Structure 1
Amino acid sequence: MKIQKYVAPNMPEAMKKIRAELGNDAVILHSKVIYTGGFLGLFKKRNIEVLAAIDPSISDTPIPPQTKNREVRNSVLIKEPSSRIEPINQAGSSIANKEKKISDFPDIAKQLDEINQNVQAFGERSNNVSFSIPTPIKNVVKLLDKQEINEMIKARLVKDLVAKWYAAGEDVLDVHVFKWAQAFLLGEISPYSFGEVSLSKKYINVIGPTGVGKTTTLAKIAANIILKQQKTVGFITTDTYRIGAIEQLKTYANILDVPLEVCYSMEDFEHATKKLKDCDVILIDTAGRNFRNKKYVEDLMQVVDYKREMETLLVLSMTAKQKDLEEIYKQFSAINIDSFVFTKLDETSSYGAMINLIVTCKKGVAYMTTGQNVPDDIVPATPLELVNKIIEVDEE
């Protein structure tokens, strides 16, 4: 790693020097105020001393201009999301009319009890659906395996579907079983809050690990607040770790014509909130760091005043592994998380992690994003929209 020391009158000037010599992939290791020059101890000049570093293995790779600008679009026109999700209908009346009490059929009740005992052990048998359950239910389980729904949720779902199957009678179509599965998953996640930020709190804080798209997501939320709700917005960024991060948010701020304040400390944060006090909403962008290091999460709490009335969104990429997502949540849970934002849905075909996290962490979802376009590639999350990512049934 190449480490350089820079001295400049202020941080923006220091960053210009660092960017010119080390490039946008450089990281700031340390900064402090120093005093130089003067005469007999008087008239010293205040400067900033910054230690910056760059990994030589990545510094030699030029960044194509089109890549730098990929996330920045000059258009900020709003497009209403297309209504491609149809409501889930209940099973047909012919099925409903056949429903009877299981206790009326002792033989079936005994068989169902045996199946339920197998279902209880289902969570301990990875991908095992060999016990006596109807084929349409096995097909549902195979789909849930493909979507990586966790074993405990699958076990509860199978028990629910088997009970409905025997209560409904023999003339049950596959489509009805899939609709039951949809309804079950809706019941699992519906108790939690969904939908875009309510704006009941002045501050909206976006946190998460590196590379999940926090800054782009922040810009999308800001654009929708400005254009759809006619509110004034201000930006605060504490992401001073990565050289290019401030420039990215500054570009969005210029496009959206909103003020931006950069904070290196809690004192800076207090000054920034005073400067932006006339804004209806203040959105806070935070540094993306290695989530495995708990200290980085603690550093957030040294710069942002979480005692304020604040809504905090944890941004998670759907391209990450389930185990990593759970660990990210655990690390960031030191901060009061209100809801999730799931990003990069366009880069995967497996969405079960969303259901798993909602049920396990007992948190709802504010938004889902499907690309880099600002502000188009973002939709307010709903339980139905999310469940349809897992199981979508065509209407008859």
Structure 2
Amino acid sequence: MKVKKYVAANMTEAMKKIRAELGNDAVILNSKIAHTGGFLGLFKKRTIEVIAAADPKPKYQQMPKVKQKQMISSKIEQNDEARNQVLQNVSAAEQKPSGEIVKELNELKALLKSIPAGSVSASPSYPAPLQLMDKLLKEQEIDASIQASILSSLLEKWYVEGASASIEQVYSWLEQEMVKRISSVSFGGISFSKKYINVVGPTGVGKTTTLAKIAADCVITHKKKVAFITTDTYRIAAIDQLKTYAKILNVPLEVCYTIDDFKKAVQTFHDFDLVLIDTAGRNFRNKQYVEDLKQVIDFDEDMETYLVLSLTAKQRDMEDIFTQFSSINIDKFIFTKADETSSYGSMYNMINKYNKGVAYMTNGQNVPDDMIAVSPNNIAKSIIGVE
């Protein structure tokens, strides 16, 4: 087993050094804040010293990944054995080299002996409160790279604050960190900066119901003059559904089969404040679907396009859907069916991966209720599970 001390300006830098040299399976045995340099006790530089260890040739190297994880977990749980093994290896190594290497090994041995037995936990890189955050992010299916980056920032914060904070404080740090990482993109509902709002997406995600909710909010709350256009001519039921909503809200509806129909509808509604466009939901794996949309809708108009995704879908499927629609300029996401799942990490992953914000999130079928305009804060709160 290889063991080494790392000195860095902060925990983030230390973790980078450890991963680069020892790999992702390295175990953090100990860490502490130190102050070096200075003059007459003043102007000392703050650093972090971290003791890390790793087996350069792990026995599970050629095993299947599932088996590897089981062996790693089993090994980490044997805290005292791992600690004692490191001490034995250090003692053995002392017999061979000399000079500066012996000095460093003696220093490492002293540090290792100072680590209390049983202190290496199942998540050795993180203190107990941060282990809870680690578990939460895993359960919410946050992408592994995003999760590692977030925990690295929290770990640095932990030591900056003196390695002492309540669970409530750590939850607050996590929320702040998650919000910060997505605050650079645009969030929120319709701003009325564009006249045409187009919703696209696969079948079954609730595009028509969501469009009705948006229309109701614009008519009732914002007192806007609203109209509907539908290009969903593949399902008669879809047209009837939108006609029902149009009648209830007392807004006009035009059905468009071709690009000429669309242009005529645009002319008909030239004096309206907002025109909401419904599209057919079809198999997203069929590339022809997106091409068909371009044959009916003029995307050069003063238009915003929202991609509607269900939170009950797999992350991989969401990514495939986005790829299929990437030839259309997607402005924001709308996530539906938040009431049908307890995992919201895919929403955060999509925002990070594609640098797109979220307009709305829906959590039920009731019109005009069960819809909220989204901000980075309520995205983070949904994932963390706090109000």
Q: Same fold (TM over 0.5)?
A: yes
What's 1:222 paired with? 215
- Out of 200, 206, 211, the residue aligned to residue 207 of structure 1 is 200
In 2: Cα distance, 1:221 partner to 1:171 partner: 46
What's 1:110 paired with? 49
What's 1:383 paired with? 376
**Is residue 2:328 matched to residue 1:335?**
yes
- Out of 358, 378, 391, the residue aligned to residue 351 of structure 2 is 358
Q: Where in structure 2 are there 5+ consecutive unaligned residues?
A: 1-31, 37-44, 54-64, 74-121
Cα distance change on mapping 1:362 and 1:107 into 2, 3 Å: closer
Q: SS at the partner of 1:206?
A: strand
Q: Which amino acid aligns with 1:331?
A: Q
Deviation at 1:179, TM superposition (A): 1.3
The percent of aligned pairs where both chains have the same amino acid is 55
Deviations 1:337-379 (Å, cap 9, x if unpaired)?
1101111100100001111000001000111111111101111
Deviation at 1:110, TM superposition (A): 2.1
What's 1:316 paired with? 309
What's 1:169 paired with? 162
Deviation at 1:195, TM superposition (A): 0.8
**Is residue 2:166 matched to residue 1:235?**
no
Deviation at 1:107, TM superposition (A): 10
CA contact (8 A) 1:208 1:214 kept: yes
What's 1:253 paired with? 246
CA contact (8 A) 2:35 2:46 kept: no
In 1: Cα distance, 2:315 partner to 2:289 partner: 21
CA contact (8 A) 1:108 1:166 kept: no
What's 1:188 paired with? 181
Q: Which amino acid aligns with 1:110?
A: E
Q: Which amino acid aligns with 1:109?
A: I
CA contact (8 A) 2:33 2:46 kept: no
In 2: Cα distance, 1:203 partner to 1:162 partner: 45
> What is the correspondence of 1:245-284 to structure 2 with a 5 Å cutoff?
245-284=238-277
Q: SS at the partner of 1:315?
A: strand
In 1: Cα distance, 2:185 partner to 2:307 partner: 15
CA RMSD of aligned residues (A): 2.2
In 1: Cα distance, 2:312 partner to 2:344 partner: 9
In 1: Cα distance, 2:69 partner to 2:349 partner: 16
Deviations 1:204-227 (Å, cap 9, x if unpaired)?
101111000000000110111111
Cα distance change on mapping 1:137 and 1:252 into 2, 3 Å: same
Deviations 1:153-202 (Å, cap 9, x if unpaired)?
11101111111111111432222222111111001111111111111111
What's 2:135 paired with? 142
Cα distance change on mapping 1:336 and 1:247 into 2, 3 Å: same
| Structure number, greater radius of gyration | 2
Deviation at 1:243, TM superposition (A): 2.0
CA contact (8 A) 1:205 1:310 kept: yes
In 2: Cα distance, 1:157 partner to 1:103 partner: 24
In 1: Cα distance, 2:216 partner to 2:147 partner: 39
CA contact (8 A) 1:137 1:158 kept: yes
In 2: Cα distance, 1:126 partner to 1:228 partner: 53
CA contact (8 A) 2:319 2:350 kept: yes
Residues matched between the structures, number: 285
Q: SS at the partner of 1:239?
A: coil
Deviations 1:42-62 (Å, cap 9, x if unpaired)?
xxxxxxxxxxxxxxxxxxxxx
In 2: Cα distance, 1:339 partner to 1:314 partner: 7
Deviation at 1:277, TM superposition (A): 1.6
What's 2:292 paired with? 299
Deviation at 1:133, TM superposition (A): 1.7
Deviation at 1:267, TM superposition (A): 0.8
In 2: Cα distance, 1:170 partner to 1:362 partner: 33
Deviations 1:12-48 (Å, cap 9, x if unpaired)?
xxxxxxxxxxxxxxxxxxxxxxxxxxxxxxxxxxxxx
In 1: Cα distance, 2:126 partner to 2:269 partner: 61
Deviation at 1:317, TM superposition (A): 0.5
Cα distance change on mapping 1:303 and 1:126 into 2, 3 Å: farther
So what's the TM-score if we normalise by structure 2?
0.70
In 1: Cα distance, 2:328 partner to 2:166 partner: 47
- Out of 340, 349, 371, the residue aligned to residue 347 of structure 1 is 340
CA contact (8 A) 1:178 1:393 kept: no
CA contact (8 A) 2:34 2:46 kept: no
Deviation at 1:335, TM superposition (A): 0.5
In 1: Cα distance, 2:279 partner to 2:254 partner: 12
Deviation at 1:108, TM superposition (A): 6.6
So what's the TM-score if we normalise by structure 1?
0.69
- Out of 121, 132, 137, the residue aligned to residue 125 of structure 2 is 132
Deviations 1:286-318 (Å, cap 9, x if unpaired)?
000110111111110110000011011111100
